[in-house]
């Protein structure tokens, strides 16, 4: 299958390209810079020059593919508008010839009050409140739309935990800990979520999958692991949510969510089998 994806040079995109090639697909990937083009080419994908703000490029690339995976995200005040226009262009280009896989995120569920499935009610933090309308439009369009909703992605010394927690601990000598740390994070390894994206190309139209490993771990335990990785084991800087928002921005509200989700649907319908099931050991480095 010829697969076109956006975000191929990014944190999840790189393992996604590897997974797609491992599954035997021919991959092309959007590349907005020479550096991005070199990255995707080195991984074995064909670079497609352009950006998420280039709907004509996206439509043409999707029209030349048998399946599309949208991993990239534009950052700015117009994030929602760019995401919607990009999705529309790629879905138009692909038509009904294959699956269009769109990226969401489990943060839209807000606090889950225990372990929930994809059918749980949504109560998103401000940073992801725009997603629901876009995702509803994606799933309502003709063709074979599928929604993958990753948990908090970790692995390969990257991801949001590295950016906002481990790096801060290296600089300040303590890991920031929002509240009492009793809230849970729904985690997934970068290689496991990449495999789910590859498998989602087989999914029935309008399917929705929580891309979580089933490891729902308390923030206090994660912070302890990250403190070891940062070289300051057991050192924490306790922050209120308002203090965390001052330092991290609105994403702090998402980090403070208490979320537990199950991967059962993707396991049953796609045969997805996450293999990274000891997040704390890996996060300790």
Token couple for 213: 């490993």
Task: Return the residue matching tokens 């949504």.
Answer: 122
Residue-wise pLDDT for 216-235, tens only, equals 999 999 999 999 999 999 99
How far is residue 129 from each of residues 124, 253, 254, measured CA to CA in Å? 5, 12, 11
Supply the pLDDT for residue 22: 98
Q: 183: how many CB neighbours lie within 10 A of its CB?
A: 17
Supply the pLDDT for residue 193: 98
Task: Return the residue matching tokens 């403070």.
Answer: 256
Host H or E run for residue 197: helix 190-200
- Radius of gyration for the chain, computed over Cα atoms and rounded to the nearest angstrom: 18
Mean pLDDT of the 238-248 span = 97
Mean pLDDT of the 239-253 span = 98
Residue 272 DSSP label:
-
Mean pLDDT of the 190-215 span = 98
Supply the pLDDT for residue 208: 98
The rounded distance, in Å, linking the Cα atoms of 221 and 225 is 6
Mean pLDDT of the 15-33 span = 98
Q: Half-sphere exposure of residue 166, counting CA atoms within 13 Å on the CB side?
A: 20
Q: What is the dotted CATH code of the domain comprising 2-151+188-212?
A: 3.40.50.720
Mean pLDDT of the 91-112 span = 97
The rounded distance, in Å, linking the Cα atoms of 160 and 176 is 13
Supply the pLDDT for residue 285: 86
This prediction has a pTM of 0.97
How far is residue 273 from each of residues 13, 163, 184, 211, measured CA to CA in Å? 19, 27, 22, 11
Residue-wise pLDDT for 59-91, tens only, equals 999 999 999 999 999 999 999 999 999 999 999
Q: At what angle do helices 55-63 and 79-94 cross, to 10 degrees?
A: 30
Parse the chain into domains and list their residue ranges. 2-151+188-212
Q: Is 159 a residue whose pLDDT tops 90?
A: yes
Q: Is 253 a residue whose pLDDT tops 90?
A: yes
Q: Is 156 a residue whose pLDDT tops 90?
A: yes
Supply the pLDDT for residue 129: 96
């Amino acid at each position: 299958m010829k697969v076109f994806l956006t975000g191929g040079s990014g944190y999840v995109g790189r393992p996604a390209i590897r997974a797609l090639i491992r599954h035997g697909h021919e991959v092309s990937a959007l590349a907005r810079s020479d550096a991005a083009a070199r990255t995707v080419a080195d991984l074995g994908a064909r670079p497609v020059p352009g950006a998420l703000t280039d709907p004509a490029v996206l439509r043409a690339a999707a029209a030349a593919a048998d399946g599309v995976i949208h991993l990239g995200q534009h950052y700015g005040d117009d994030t929602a508008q760019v995401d919607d226009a990009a999705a529309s262009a790629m879905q138009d280009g692909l038509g009904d010839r294959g699956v269009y896989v769109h990226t969401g995120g489990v943060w839209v569920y807000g606090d889950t009050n225990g372990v929930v499935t994809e059918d749980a009610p949504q109560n998103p933090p401000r940073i992801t409140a725009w997603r629901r309308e876009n995702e509803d439009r994606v799933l309502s369009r003709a063709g074979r739309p599928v929604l993958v909703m990753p948990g908090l992605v970790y692995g390969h010394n990257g991801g949001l935990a590295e950016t906002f927690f481990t790096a801060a601990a290296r600089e300040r000598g303590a890991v920031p800990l929002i509240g009492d740390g009793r809230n849970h994070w729904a985690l997934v390894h970068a290689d496991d979520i990449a495999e789910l994206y590859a498998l989602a190309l087989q999914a029935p139209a309008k399917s929705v999958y929580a891309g979580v490993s089933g490891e729902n771990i308390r923030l206090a335990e994660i912070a302890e692991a990250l403190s070891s990785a940062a070289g300051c084991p057991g050192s924490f800087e306790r922050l209120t949510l308002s203090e965390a928002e001052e330092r991290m921005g609105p994403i702090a509200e998402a980090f403070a969510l208490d979320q537990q989700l199950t991967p059962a649907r993707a396991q049953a319908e796609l045969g997805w089998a996450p293999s990274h099931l000891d997040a704390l050991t890996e996060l300790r480095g």
